[in-house]
Structure 1
């Protein structure tokens, strides 16, 4: 991780914008903007801890079977369009959005349904990558609107959901850009603001910061190294002393010294994180032993009060990636197995937050490559565009469906257009942009409205940052 060190931070605090703009290494407009803003960020009080958890469902979740309309005519349209992929009413769990028609969630998601009904979860309907608003399929077919690069491509759309830059290919994510602005708020700079349970990712990669990768067992150690004295383990003791002596060396070779500095920083981070997360979780909450369950349990250890206090953290993000959602076949059976794992893990995670009295300080959201075709390919569904996602947390304005849930009608091959959002086979044009979705979370984390375009460069195409109203309204 490349981070601003203390001298640079002091310099930025004293320098004028004109002076900062003359630094050669900060030679892009975006980096200059970040440098200028870092000097102006004010740390919140210690009690004002906030964290965002991204649960990425890579492969493209068929989310129109995760959230289903239940109003009579809308459900009949759903059945007609989805044909053999439609879920029967008896397999669904009805939810009752405030002031909206009745919807339902997949029958394997009772925990999400309960959180929604209790006001701690909300859905964002038909959200996707957009450069600018697109109203109908004619604009798509005639290319009279700018369209995201590589529509329907896994790699392109995963990248764009993590960068919120659908008009360019980039290795810098919006959580990384957020950390470039907010990392300095954390008193302890040994452990980065962005922590990943699934290794390197674009979402948490910034210009000046990157993710800190851990496992379900905690921080990753240097094999046979222990920062504490091991009285009865002479092998570990000897190896650790050897490493420490190397770390204490000063090298004239820049490459060797840089490597040594990075290794020392990694060990310092390991020591800090391991000490901070050593305590057991309160409340005797039972987490499922699933892939997501074990990761959310580790995240809970990192955010419990004494842990984030020990880390000096007031802002954090966490990343979890669960693959296997590319269901070109077997979608009903596979979702029947996978969605319950998601629901159970999130249910346990929220209960743990309540046990720690931190439910208002943590927000979890889902993301995926794209939605899938409403039509069946015979055995499953194919790559599409707009999708439904959900957010969970005590600061979520829950029991609502945000955005515009689309008509699920299909356009005929010939004749008048029935649904302007259907580009073919039920590939729906998003009615809400990723920028609007992410802006809610970025603002809640503490990014100022004036800084929002630094984190989400295209936000001005969908929302005016200086507006008195929020982008979508799902965060308190």
Structure 2
């Protein structure tokens, strides 16, 4: 799916959901095929101006204004030739390499993109620049958490103008982004509200709509819905409770567990809720044992930027950087890829819609900007490229945004 088209058609409805009414259940829409949304949250607040650098093509004064405001943190107004990806030269052959210094490479220049005159892409992100150049990614500028338009300092200082709550607090603005309501910090998440409206989606699977790789996030929490919590490396499962009729111990333990959650059902609403939770947890255990902890996963022949395995993390000898990449985002997106493979396949989970949340950072770099930000941007670029290549190999790149 084209990212721009998805955002035009898909997000207009989210702002209209508001707070769902307790006890009111809308009819589940009729879905066909598979589509997924993957939210990569740059925790701590990414420095967008050093990621997408104001370019001279947007007006000769734009980079100058940026440079005057940034001082020593300013990325040079120097174009870097965008290379082919998949055959990147290693070590000192990297397009951003600058005497082995991550900071110098980070501030050394940026890649111009055909058709985008306003900004260039930071040197540490050749893969993302290539995705933009090839029309496989899009930039959407001037977005934020405003309650109403504020056109300048005068509007901001006008007491009659509505402003987001705690505008300069990381935690509050994270909540605003995840709820989609800048003047209400206590509402549910927009993906959670969507899950409430689409109750019973994916053939009523216990997986539901939302999957979080960062715990119980507000984004995916609704009035009646919660996300499935996932770990990239392995899933949590019940000990010796596999659904195996040939194993008397396993069968006895499962039957006992079923008796326990069955005994909690009845007229007491709290006992009924607890009973449903226990049953759902056992159903999820069975589903993941069947598909996740098995040979149902897929493998990839595509390679990474340096010819490494697609979801391998490049070494410093390959990246030409001083510091190793953490690999956390690469690992999370690999797990998301496998869940998309299982969900989109009619012979496996056979789902229609899924939303995934992954967390990467911290981007709250403070005085260590030139040391930490280049490492974060390098992994972000590599991980997004790897993810896109995996989607293309699976044939679902037009179904995931």
Do both share a fold (TM > 0.5)? yes
- Could you tell me how far apart the structure 1 residues matched to 2:31 and 2:112 are? 37
Question: Counterpart of 1:137?
Answer: 153
Q: Contact (CA 8 Å) 1:94, 1:102: kept in 2 or not?
A: no
- Could you tell me how far apart the structure 2 residues matched to 1:29 and 1:165 are? 9
Secondary structure of the 2:223 match is: coil
- Could you tell me how far apart the structure 2 residues matched to 1:213 and 1:203 are? 13
CA change 1:85–1:346 in 2 (3 A) is same
Q: Contact (CA 8 Å) 1:68, 1:103: kept in 2 or not?
A: yes
- Could you tell me how far apart the structure 1 residues matched to 2:266 and 2:203 are? 31
Q: Deviations over 1:228-255 (max 9, x none)?
A: 3397896x67655543443454555734
Q: Deviations over 1:68-123 (max 9, x none)?
A: 0221432232222211001223633323242x416321211111111100101111
Question: Counterpart of 2:74?
Answer: 86
Question: Counterpart of 1:209?
Answer: 225
Question: Counterpart of 2:388?
Answer: 350
Of 20, 25, 35, which aligns to 1:31? 20
Of 140, 152, 171, which aligns to 2:168? 152
Q: Contact (CA 8 Å) 1:69, 1:75: kept in 2 or not?
A: yes
Secondary structure of the 2:218 match is: coil
TM-score by length of 2: 0.75
**Unpaired runs of 5+ in structure 2?**
1-16, 81-107, 303-309, 314-326
Question: Counterpart of 2:243?
Answer: 228
Secondary structure of the 1:203 match is: helix
Question: Counterpart of 2:284?
Answer: 269
Q: Deviations over 1:340-390 (max 9, x none)?
A: 111111111110000100001111xxxxxxxxxxxxxxxxxxxxxxxxxxx
Of 297, 309, 325, which aligns to 1:280? 297
Question: Counterpart of 1:63?
Answer: 48
- Could you tell me how far apart the structure 1 residues matched to 2:151 and 2:329 are? 37
* Shift of residue 337, structure 1, vs aligned partner: 0.9
Of 285, 294, 304, which aligns to 2:331? 294
Secondary structure of the 1:35 match is: coil
Q: Contact (CA 8 Å) 2:19, 2:188: kept in 1 or not?
A: no
- Could you tell me how far apart the structure 2 residues matched to 1:156 and 1:133 are? 19
How well do the aligned residues superpose, as a CA RMSD in angstroms?
A: 2.7
Secondary structure of the 1:56 match is: strand
CA change 1:231–1:184 in 2 (3 A) is closer
Q: Deviations over 1:118-157 (max 9, x none)?
A: 1011112232101111111111112231000001111210
CA change 1:243–1:307 in 2 (3 A) is farther
TM-score by length of 1: 0.63
Alignment of 1:14-413 (within 5 A): 30-32=19-21, 35=24, 38-39=26-27, 41-45=28-32, 47=33, 49-71=34-56, 72-88=60-76, 89=78, 91-98=108-115, 100-101=116-117, 103-222=119-238, 224-229=239-244, 239-240=253-254, 242-249=256-263, 251=265, 254=268, 255-277=270-292, 278=294, 279-285=296-302, 286-289=310-313, 290-304=327-341, 309=346, 310-363=348-401
Question: Counterpart of 1:406?
Answer: none
Q: Contact (CA 8 Å) 1:93, 1:113: kept in 2 or not?
A: no
* Shift of residue 59, structure 1, vs aligned partner: 1.0
* Shift of residue 335, structure 1, vs aligned partner: 0.6
CA change 1:207–1:327 in 2 (3 A) is same
- Could you tell me how far apart the structure 2 residues matched to 1:225 and 1:323 are? 37
Q: Contact (CA 8 Å) 1:188, 1:313: kept in 2 or not?
A: no
* Shift of residue 162, structure 1, vs aligned partner: 0.4
Q: Deviations over 1:399-428 (max 9, x none)?
A: xxxxxxxxxxxxxxxxxxxxxxxxxxxxxx
Question: Counterpart of 2:96?
Answer: none
